[in-house]
Amino acid sequence: MNRKIRVTVNGTARAVEVPTYRTLLDCLRNDLGLTGSKEGCGVGVCGACTVLLDGKMISSCIALAVSADGHEVTTVEGLAGDERLHPVQQAFIDAGGFQCGICTPGQVVSAKALLDANPNPSDAEIREWMLGNLCRCTGYYKIIESIRAAAQRSRA
Amino acid sequence: MRAFEYAAPRTLDEALAVLREHGDEARVIAGGTALVTMMRQRLVSPGYLVSLRDIRGLDRIEADNGGIRIGALATHRDVETSPLVRERLPVLAETFRRVASVRIRNMATVGGALAHADPNQDPPVTLIALGARVEICGTDGRRALPVEEFFRDYYESALEPGEVVIGVVVPQLAPASGAAYVKFLPRTADDYATVAVAATVSVDPDGERCRAARIALGSVGVTPIRARGAEGLLAGQRFGAELLRGAGEAVKGAVDPLSDHRGSAAYKREMAGVMVGRALTRAWDAALVSARGTR
């Protein structure tokens, strides 16, 4: 019960044959070698597996790979340019939002989606948007600071 | 997860035909937030999944007779951010905003959530208070029924084998009416409610007395419930602490919550009474504003 799917991943068209039960997360990590996205809770709560599907953030651990057939996926690997980190990535380093690293790919992808939708979010809007991304280092203040910094830098 | 066949038909008719062909083995999937999670936990292991995702037009949110019709494939986020919903029924946008996280709201669909029939969800509570009807389609045709009659038991709905939810129709609020959704959420913001209450209140043109009210609750039993006993106490009455206390007591007698990590049954019962008072107060205030606007 395999199916061939075509997915544009980080701007590159990919064709891959997957079992129907393959989650999008496992497809990205195991079939496509993109191990940035992590599995935390496995039930859509913690946010470590956050990717963008057609520009909207989703939990890839509870999405079937077959459901991404014909769509565009953006993972943390797709954010940086050749020589430069994405402003959100740079801000996470500069402002200390990047701690142990497990939740970071999901945090960064969610923050990018936020700034794409709302380039100038208030702290309350940052909190509401990011509440589904858990950080067990509990570095939430630094994460909010990082997103604020990325927003400022993007405007400059 | 166990292996399964997967079909993603492009039309509703095709989807219904596949469902009919595969009977009990088949399950419908839309956003997948509930079903894939249950499959990963091996709570369900369907042999055939029929995805509705590729059926065009099933995600529309449109004006309907002064009210709103929401297609089954509209996501929670679509409803939350819809200008039409925000303008006509802000309480509905506010209710969908309280579901889980933005990420889950991007995935979970309105029809999928109804079909899942989890009594702890937010949207059914407000949909019941607003008098919404769920639209169902099977190979034998279409039918619609009030959302409050759709839920039968824990994770069980009135859907017959081979039927799918295709939309929900939400009528406009009556003149001089207000609505409110109150979610009691002592843990994290993305959690299910410990107790949830939605209320609508219609007042006389002079704003003195309640003309009619509807009250619905979630997380207080095996299905979301409508509290008709408490509604009956409100008609013809003036607003006041005594009236709210009476409505709260009636609700406490009508709910049958389960003890879990969100609270004991006794605690939820007590909080149901408190939250009904708060929801009615907010709905009544909104009704007074609405009445003033129409005078």
Each residue of B177-200: pLDDT tens digit?
Answer: 999 999 999 888 999 999 999 999
Q: Is B44 on the interface with A (CB under 8 A)?
A: no
- Domain end (from A43, A78, A113): A78
**Does B68 share its domain with B12?**
no
What CA–CA distances, in Å, run from B156 to B159, B166, B186, B263? 8, 17, 27, 23
pLDDT digits (tens, 9 = 90+) for A9-50: 999 999 999 999 999 999 999 999 999 999 999 999 999 999
Q: Which residues contact A75 (CB under 8 A, 6 or more apart)?
A: A9, A10, A28, A34, A36, A37, A51, A52, A105, A109
**Does B138 share its domain with B184?**
no
Bridge pairing between strands B67-71 and B225-226: unpaired
Distance CA B254, CA B231 (A): 12
> How many domains does chain B divide into?
3
Q: Residue B9: give its domain's CATH number.
A: 3.30.43.10
**Cβ contact B2–A20 (<8 Å):** no
- Domain end (from A34, A54, A78): A78
B150 φ, ψ to 5°? Answer: -80, -30
What CA–CA distances, in Å, run from A131 to A66, A110, A139? 28, 10, 13
Segments forming the whole domain that contains residue B190: 177-294
**Does A68 share its domain with A98?**
no
Q: Which of B32, B37, B190 sits opposite A132 (nearest CB)?
A: B190
Q: Is A50 on the interface with B (CB under 8 A)?
A: yes
Q: Which of A3, A53, A64 sits opposite B36 (nearest CB)?
A: A64
CB B182 within 8 A of CB B158: no
What distance, in Å, lies between the first and last C-alpha atoms of chain B? 60
**Does B147 share its domain with B91?**
yes
What pLDDT, on the 0 to 100 scale, is given for residue A82? 85
Q: Does a structural domain hold residue B248?
A: yes
CB A51 within 8 A of CB A57: yes
Alpha helices in B134-264 (DSSP H): 147-150, 228-234, 241-254
**Does B194 share its domain with B282?**
yes
Q: Does a structural domain hold residue B119?
A: yes
The first and second tokens of residue A150, run together, are: 């990325």
pLDDT digits (tens, 9 = 90+) for A102-156: 999 999 999 999 999 999 999 999 999 999 999 999 899 999 999 999 999 887 7
Q: Which of A1, A57, A128 sits opposite B3 (nearest CB)?
A: A1
Predicted-complex ipTM score = 0.97
Segments forming the whole domain that contains residue A132: 87-155
Q: Is A71 on the interface with B (CB under 8 A)?
A: no
What pLDDT, on the 0 to 100 scale, is given for residue A155? 79
> How many domains does chain A divide into?
2
**Does A7 share its domain with A48?**
yes
Q: Does a structural domain hold residue B56?
A: no
The stretch B63-73 carries a mean pLDDT of: 97
**Does B189 share its domain with B129?**
no
**Does A103 share its domain with A128?**
yes
Supply the DSSP symbol for B24: G
**Does A47 share its domain with A74?**
yes
CB B181 within 8 A of CB B90: no
- Domain end (from A55, A78, A101): A78
Cα angle for residues B269, B149, B140 (degrees, 5° grid): 155
Q: Residue B154: give its domain's CATH number.
A: 3.30.465.10
